[in-house]
């Protein structure tokens, strides 16, 4: 829709750092996400991948560097509807009843002032978004009664209802059963085919292998691989005959107990002798 | 009934009860959603200090109570937003400080008799004056209009704060506004229900509504209906049996909750009896699954190898042939 000779990248980080108070979780990251890319952000638990996207969204304190969204510095960015955030599903409150439609309708709220009631367009977009994730037949069912994978799709529909330029997803496939995970991958494939740009935080590439066009790996708060899916496969193969490397897509290596290790060794040594 | 309505104080009490019955569940649903069911109780404690200041200084206690409750509500939200672990202790000190100060100040004031204190704590139909009614009407109207207009936004913030923040919504602003509305509701309900029991009228009708409704929207209307029935019914009953109105209202609300819970339990039993699980299959039925969709009462079944499969929570139910009497599901849909 926007007329521009050379549109700025969707997301642009220049030696960006994020963290909580004294604790710096992500440091010195350079990353550019272009229109039409489907980027998988990989890495073991605790490597900072969630913190990175939450920092880009302004949910975690930025502690240095530069963050631009659609060419606008993060502090001045107000076009929130252009970014569709799909948080991990445990952020949904389940203490009162809510239907799929009611949750997805939330995605339209940033598009209108507080005093304006829902328009026909809002209703249509909500219905389309629910259909896009394959839940049209269950639109008036309770969210709490759905399976984990279906709940993720509700959150994707909510983000889609905002008609964003880029979807940012935090672990959409974690803890999802096979049937649901396949349905989820199909939804993402369809969105990718329609040209939707996505940033997907995940620790398992397998389920999304056909959707992803670029892989970025993080380790201890820094980016240590950035390339196409093919380059990633080659990179992994090169590492496979070395030590067990964290890039293994199916196995999540536990973080190395850097401080604990020598002590543990002393302990096991003591008990053994 | 005509006899009761002929009494001016009863008319006023019933109007006050109506306001409380509408406002309290309406605000309360968001407190339940945010898992802050007991926050109204603490704000009621602080409001007692406001009442005492009003009695001592000769102001209208309604207005001083409002000021104190608003102060407490804003403080609660700011303490929560700061995320400090000591916040919990700070809230406890504020709540008990409020009620202790209230009790001491009311005892010291000349107008203060034990009966007066009881009326504020537990509600009394005789205490509503015509001056109060005008103030209460304005306050109740404010709660009603603001809550209904911002209903979706309060829902969004309470449902998923993380998303609301990322979508650029002023989360703290909405939370502060909800705290102020809660404070206003406490003052609206103060006369009929009493400061120690107000929280019950915010929460219990919502608990009952959760058993009856299947969406947020319908649960809101159920809660308001049950709230009004409990508060107005409670005031009428308290006149008949000469009991404090607040306690009577809350007992009526709890009776409704227990009755509905029992009915819901019977309903679930019946439903489980006619509930047959379909075999598991590793694909999900949906518009694109390739199986024929068949409308069945309030939902859609999918024709799978000659069986009708209906999605139920995380699995599929066998809905067999169309003619199967599905009495329990039908009754629940009403």
Mean pLDDT of B263-289: 77
Decide if A74 contacts A68 (C-beta within 8 A): yes
Listed residues B170, B203, B236: the one ending a domain: B203
- CATH number of the domain encompassing residue B50: 1.10.3470.10
How far does B9 lie from chain A, in Å, by closest CA?
Answer: 37
| Entry field: residues in chain B | 334
Q: Give the residue numbers spanning the domain of B117.
A: 2-203
In DSSP notation, B104-141 reads HHHHHSTT--HHHHHHHHH--GGG--HHHHHHHHHHHH
Listed residues B179, B203, B227: the one ending a domain: B203
Tokens at residue B18, please? 């109506």
Listed residues B169, B203, B237: the one ending a domain: B203
Q: A80 in contact with B at a CB cutoff of 8 Å?
A: yes
- CATH number of the domain encompassing residue A82: 3.40.50.300
Contact yes or no for B155 and A98 at CB 8 A: yes
Among B149, B163, B216, whose Cβ lies nearest the Cβ of A87?
Answer: B163
How far does A265 lie from chain B, in Å, by closest CA?
Answer: 36
Reply yes or no on whether the pLDDT at B44 is more than 50: yes
Contact yes or no for B216 and A85 at CB 8 A: no
Interface test with A, best of B215, B309, B329 (most A CBs within 10 A): B215
Reply yes or no on whether the pLDDT at A177 is more than 80: no
How far does B166 lie from chain A, in Å, by closest CA?
Answer: 6
Count of structural domains within chain B: 2
Among A95, A114, A182, whose Cβ lies nearest the Cβ of B153?
Answer: A114
What is the residue whose two structure tokens read 């609301």? B164
Mean pLDDT of A63-77: 92
pLDDT cut 70: percent of chain A above it: 85
Can you tell me the distance from the alpha carbon of A176 to that of A161, in angstroms, rounded to the nearest whole number? 23
User: Is residue B189 domain-shared with residue B294, that is, in the same domain?
Assistant: no
Radius of gyration of chain B (CA): 24
Contact yes or no for B214 and A99 at CB 8 A: yes
pLDDT band at B327 (very low <50, low <70, confident <90, very high): very low
Q: Across all residues in chain B, what is the average pLDDT?
A: 86
Q: Check residue B202 and give its pLDDT.
A: 96
On chain A, the residues whose CB falls within 8 A of the CB of B275 are none
Q: Give the residue numbers spanning the domain of A157.
A: 11-272
User: Is residue B17 domain-shared with residue B131, that is, in the same domain?
Assistant: yes
Residue B288 lies in a domain: yes
Tokens at residue B127, please? 């205490």
Q: Check residue A86 and give its pLDDT.
A: 94
Q: ipTM value of the model?
A: 0.83
Instruction: List Cα–Cα distances, B104 to B67, B121, B235, in angstroms.
Output: 19, 14, 29
Contact yes or no for B206 and A180 at CB 8 A: no
The CA-based angle B20-B26-B29, given to 5 degrees, is 125
CA nearest B36 in A: which residue? A95
Count of structural domains within chain A: 1
Residue A218 lies in a domain: yes
Q: Check residue B227 and give its pLDDT.
A: 97
Q: A199 in contact with B at a CB cutoff of 8 Å?
A: no
Residue A2 lies in a domain: no
Residue B69 lies in a domain: yes
Q: B311 in contact with A at a CB cutoff of 8 Å?
A: yes
Residue A205 lies in a domain: yes
Residue B303 lies in a domain: yes
Least confident of A6-15, A231-240, B64-73, B210-219: A231-240
User: Is residue B165 domain-shared with residue B282, that is, in the same domain?
Assistant: no
Q: A189 in contact with B at a CB cutoff of 8 Å?
A: no
Q: A134 in contact with B at a CB cutoff of 8 Å?
A: yes
Can you tell me the distance from the alpha carbon of A155 to that of B156, in angstroms, rounded to the nearest whole number? 12
Residue A267 lies in a domain: yes
Can you tell me the distance from the alpha carbon of B300 to that of B309, in angstroms, rounded to the nearest whole number? 9
On chain B, the residues whose CB falls within 8 A of the CB of A81 are 167-168
Contact yes or no for B155 and A102 at CB 8 A: yes
């Amino acid at each position: 829709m926007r007329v521009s000779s050379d549109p700025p990248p969707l997301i642009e980080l220049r030696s960006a750092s994020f963290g909580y108070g004294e604790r710096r979780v992500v440091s010195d990251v350079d990353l550019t996400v272009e229109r039409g890319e489907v980027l998988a952000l990989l890495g073991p638990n605790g490597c900072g991948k969630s913190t990175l996207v939450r920092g880009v969204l302004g949910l975690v304190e930025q502690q240095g560097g530069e963050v631009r969204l659609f060419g606008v510095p993060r502090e001045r960015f107000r076009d929130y509807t252009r970014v569709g955030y799909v948080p991990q599903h445990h952020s949904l409150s389940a203490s009162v009843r809510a239907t799929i439609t009611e949750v997805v309708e939330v995605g339209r709220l940033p598009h209108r002032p507080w005093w304006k009631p829902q328009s026909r367009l809002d209703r249509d977009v909500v219905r389309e978004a629910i259909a896009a994730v394959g839940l049209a037949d269950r639109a008036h069912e309770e969210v709490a009664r759905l399976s984990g994978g279906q709940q993720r799709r509700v959150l994707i529909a909510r983000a889609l209802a905002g008609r964003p330029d880029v979807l940012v997803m935090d672990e959409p496939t974690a803890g999802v059963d096979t049937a649901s995970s396949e349905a989820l991958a199909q939804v993402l494939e369809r969105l990718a085919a329609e040209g939707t740009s996505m940033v997907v935080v995940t620790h398992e590439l397998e389920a999304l292998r056909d959707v992803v066009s670029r892989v970025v790996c993080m380790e201890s708060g820094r980016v240590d691989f950035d390339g196409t899916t093919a380059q990633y496969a080659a990179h992994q193969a090169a590492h496979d005959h070395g030590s067990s490397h964290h890039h293994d897509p199916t196995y999540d290596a536990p973080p190395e107990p850097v401080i604990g290790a020598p002590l543990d060794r002393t302990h096991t040594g003591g008990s053994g002798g | 009934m005509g006899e009761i309505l002929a009494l001016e104080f009863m008319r006023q009490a019933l109007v006050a009860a109506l306001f409380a019955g509408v406002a309290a569940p309406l605000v309360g649903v968001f407190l339940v959603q945010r898992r802050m069911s007991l926050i109204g109780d603490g704000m009621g404690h602080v409001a007692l200090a406001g009442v005492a200041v009003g009695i001592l200084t000769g102001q209208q206690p309604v207005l001083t109570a409002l000021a104190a409750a608003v102060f407490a509500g804003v403080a609660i939200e700011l303490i929560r937003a700061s995320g400090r672990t000591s916040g919990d202790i700070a809230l406890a000190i504020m709540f008990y400080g409020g009620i202790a100060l209230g009790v001491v100040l009311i005892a010291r004031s000349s107008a203060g008799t034990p009966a007066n204190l009881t009326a504020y704590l537990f509600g009394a139909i005789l205490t509503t004056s015509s001056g109060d009614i005008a103030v209460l009407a304005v306050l109740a109207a404010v709660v009603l209009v603001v809550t209904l207009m911002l209903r979706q936004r309060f829902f969004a913030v309470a449902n998923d704060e993380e998303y609301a923040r990322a979508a650029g919504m002023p989360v703290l602003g909405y939370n502060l506004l909800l705290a102020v509305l809660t404070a206003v509701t406490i003052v609206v309900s103060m006369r009929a229900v009493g400061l120690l029991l107000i929280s019950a009228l915010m929460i219990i009708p919502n608990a009952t509504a959760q058993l009856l409704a299947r969406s947020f929207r319908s649960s809101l209307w159920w809660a308001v209906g049950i709230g009004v029935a409990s508060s107005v019914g409670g005031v009428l009953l308290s006149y008949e049996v000469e009991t404090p109105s607040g306690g009577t209202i809350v007992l009526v609300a709890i009776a409704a909750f227990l009755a509905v819970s029992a009915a819901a339990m019977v309903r679930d039993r019946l439903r489980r009896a006619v509930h047959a699980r379909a075999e598991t299959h590793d694909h999900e039925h949906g518009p694109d699954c390739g199986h024929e969709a068949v409308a069945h009462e309030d939902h859609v079944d999918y024709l799978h190898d000659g069986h009708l499969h209906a999605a139920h929570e995380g699995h599929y139910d066998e809905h067999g042939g169309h003619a199967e009497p599905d009495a329990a599901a039908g009754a629940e849909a009403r």
